[in-house]
A = this chain, B = another copy of it.
Amino acid sequence: MTESVGVRRAQAQRTRCGVLDAAAAVFVDQGVQAPVRDIAERAGVGVGTIYRNFPTRAELVTAVYRHQIDACAALAPRLLAESDSPFTALGRWLDAFVDFLVTKHGLGAALGSGDPGLENLHALMLDTLLPACESLLDACADAGELRPGVTAYPLLRAVGNLCITGPDYDRAVARRMVELLLAGCRAER
């Protein structure tokens, strides 16, 4: 009896993961505004299942990106330890962030859209990425490598915006633009 409950829970967990995978894939293809039914189909479940697990679209979007966001945040201290200078670490970390954003296209637009239902995601990113970014910026500032007044939140938002790609403005271009922005953040010598 207790066991069967465990089995059921495990099954539910697997369903949930399947939905997340499907949603991630569909978001790549169609953006975060993709029809719920498309996600359900890709996951091989009914739409009701999506709604049970993620009553709002924002919750789904948030859940989809939580893992990657966590991974990205966890990267910061590692890069800081590995790199020659804090500023180099910051550059590498932003590269990773760009990769994350550009791969999941539609996310950048979603973040920038000001959609009130996406505040969860926004909050999530703030909660995890902001501290990570701040730690890097602090290190840069301590090393005298950072132009004064550069703060984490606007920087992340700016990078997020720069990663809204399209035809003629692809990942490579986005990276280049982030590079330029970063160059502008370096303390003048």
Which chain A residues have a beta carbon within 8 Å of chain B's beta carbons? 109, 112-114, 147, 149-150, 153-155, 157-158, 161-169, 173, 176-177, 179-185
Contact = CB atoms under 8 A, between A and B. Distances in A.
A166 to B, nearest CB: 4
Given A112-B164, A114-B166, A153-B168, A184 B180 contact: yes
Contacts of A154: 169, 173, 176-177
A66 B140 CA distance: 43
15 contacts: A112-B161, A112-B169, A113-B166, A114-B165, A150-B180, A153-B168, A154-B169, A154-B173, A157-B173, A158-B177, A158-B180, A162-B162, A177-B181, A180-B184, A183-B183
Contact of A109 (B109, B149, B150, B181): B109
Chain A residues touching B, majority SS: helix
Q: Determine how many copies of this chain the complex contains.
A: 4
Contacts of A158: 162, 177, 180
A156 to B, nearest CB: 10
A12 to B, nearest CB: 13
A164 B164 contact: yes
A136 to B, nearest CB: 16
Contacts of A112: 109, 161, 164, 166, 169
